[in-house]
């Protein structure tokens, strides 16, 4: 039944349906998600335990170009590969606008007390310094993803032989929200269309898709219970809400109105980030024991 990585249709979806059929409404839902991080959150010296209170959406769009092929010795002025490459380059150049609000703003407000005085001043006066704060967050990819809808080209396919012009070029772009119109609507800062070529066909693709989730409350019983368990097992850490950048199974429960939180009781350092779903992914023995303690404490407190 475990199919979280491919949508949860045979796992979480069926469990949600079963709970609904039995008339059970969870007080809160805790799914995997963010961790206790040391040396990862800029400016904050203490380790920070991040609890995900919402997650971004996910859509995949296919961009394709079809033209007449031919021999590479007689190329036209524009090829399928060149046309599609130009469209992808425009997408990367004209990103979606930045906006500081929601969970990103809650994260900054909660961690302000852990920051140097200058940053505390900026966060406390965010109406005045909001644009500066937003630009500061956008410097790193992880921060930028919390203040804008992202567009990420993930697949590019074209050509079958080195001396044959490709008659078709195809690319897949993944967006963190249903933002298909961005590819065709005028780009506000430049008054140009993001993909300004009618030869580029845009269709939605992929079996895995999700909408942005509702934002769960930070003053609820669920959030406070999780926070207390974290502090008891990891004394000395700061706790803050945050936006989760990927999709989890909790989105199926959120559709039923359940407060959903996303936290994994794992200790992460900067060198651990490249190991996620990668080579030598691992958990320290002592941190594994702490994870067991966390869940034990959480179950006791919830009961």
Q: What is the CATH number of the domain that holds 237?
A: 3.40.630.10
- Structural domain span for residue 285: 12-56+213-302
Q: What is the pLDDT of residue 182?
A: 59
On whether both 161 and 35 belong to a single domain, the answer is no
Q: Is 2 within a domain?
A: no
Q: Note the pLDDT of residue 211.
A: 86
Q: Are residues 158 and 73 in the same domain?
A: yes
* Continuous segment of H or E residues that includes residue 52: strand 48-55
- CA 89 – CA 86 distance, rounded (Å): 5
Domain shared by 225 and 294, yes or no: yes
79 lies in the same domain as 153: yes
pLDDT computed for residue 78 by the predictor: 94
Q: Residue 1's pLDDT is what?
A: 46
Domain CATH for 171: 3.30.70.360
Considering the domain architecture, whether residues 52 and 78 belong to the same structural domain is answered as no
113 located within any domain: no
Can you give the pLDDT at residue 184? 52
Tens of pLDDT, residue by residue, the chain (303 residues): 456 666 677 888 899 999 999 999 999 999 999 999 998 888 898 999 999 999 998 889 999 999 998 999 999 999 999 999 999 999 998 888 999 989 999 999 999 999 999 999 999 998 899 899 999 989 988 889 999 999 999 999 999 999 999 999 999 999 987 655 556 544 343 334 678 788 999 998 987 788 889 999 999 999 999 999 999 999 999 999 999 998 888 988 988 888 999 999 999 988 888 888 788 888 889 889 999 999 999 999 998
> Looking at the domain assignment, is residue 120 inside a domain?
no
Q: Are residues 156 and 41 in the same domain?
A: no
Q: Which two tokens stand for residue 84?
A: 């599609």
For residue 199, tell me if it sits in a domain: yes
Alpha-carbon distances of 146 from 84, 90, 106, 143, 167, rounded to whole Å? 28, 22, 11, 5, 38
**What is the SS3 assignment for 251?**
helix
Specify the pLDDT at position 207.
76
Domain boundary among 171, 188, 210: 210
154 and 201 share one domain = yes
User: Which pLDDT score, from 0 to 100, does residue 281 have?
Assistant: 87
In Å, how far are 3, 26, 29, 99 from 265, measured between CA atoms?
A: 21, 21, 15, 30
pLDDT of amino acid 11 = 83
- For tokens 């959030």, name the residue: 223
Residues 63, 189 within the same domain? yes
Q: Do 223 and 280 fall within a single domain?
A: yes
Judge if 191 and 249 occupy the same domain. Answer: no
Strand 164-165 versus strand 70-71 pairing type: antiparallel
Q: Give the count of domains, the chain.
A: 2
Domain boundary, last residue among 161, 190, 210: 210
pLDDT of residue 3: 62
For residues 87 and 165, membership in a common domain is answered with yes
Q: Do 177 and 279 reside in the same domain of the chain?
A: no
């Amino acid at each position: 039944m475990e199919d979280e990585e491919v949508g949860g249709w045979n796992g979480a979806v069926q469990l949600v349906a079963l709970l609904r059929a039995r008339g059970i409404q969870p007080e809160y839902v805790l799914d995997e998600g963010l961790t206790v991080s040391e040396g990862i959150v800029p400016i904050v010296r203490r380790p920070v335990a991040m609890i995900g209170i919402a997650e971004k959406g996910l859509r995949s769009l296919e961009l394709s170009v079809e033209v007449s092929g031919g021999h590479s010795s007689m190329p036209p002025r524009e090829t399928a590969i060149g046309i599609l490459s130009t469209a992808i380059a425009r997408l990367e150049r004209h990103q979606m606008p930045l906006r500081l609000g929601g969970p990103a703003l809650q994260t900054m407000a909660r961690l302000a007390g852990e920051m140097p005085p200058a940053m505390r001043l900026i966060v406390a006066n965010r109406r005045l310094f909001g644009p500066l704060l937003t630009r500061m967050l956008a410097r790193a990819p992880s921060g930028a993803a919390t203040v804008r809808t992202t567009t990420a080209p993930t697949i590019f396919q074209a050509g079958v032989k080195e001396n044959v012009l490709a008659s078709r070029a195809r690319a897949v772009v993944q967006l963190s929200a249903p933002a298909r119109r961005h590819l065709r609507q005028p780009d506000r800062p430049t008054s140009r269309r993001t993909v300004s070529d009618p030869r580029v066909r845009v269709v939605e693709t992929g079996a895995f898709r999700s909408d942005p989730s509702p934002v769960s409350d930070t003053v609820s019983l669920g959030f406070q219970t999780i926070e207390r368990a974290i502090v008891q097992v990891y004394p000395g850490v700061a706790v803050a809400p945050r936006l989760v950048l990927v999709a989890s199974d909790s989105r199926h429960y959120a559709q039923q109105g359940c407060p959903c939180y996303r936290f994994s009781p794992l200790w992460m350092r900067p060198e651990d980030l490249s190991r996620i779903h990668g080579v030598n992914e691992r958990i320290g023995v002592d941190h594994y024991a702490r994870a067991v303690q966390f869940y034990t404490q959480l179950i006791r407190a919830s009961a």
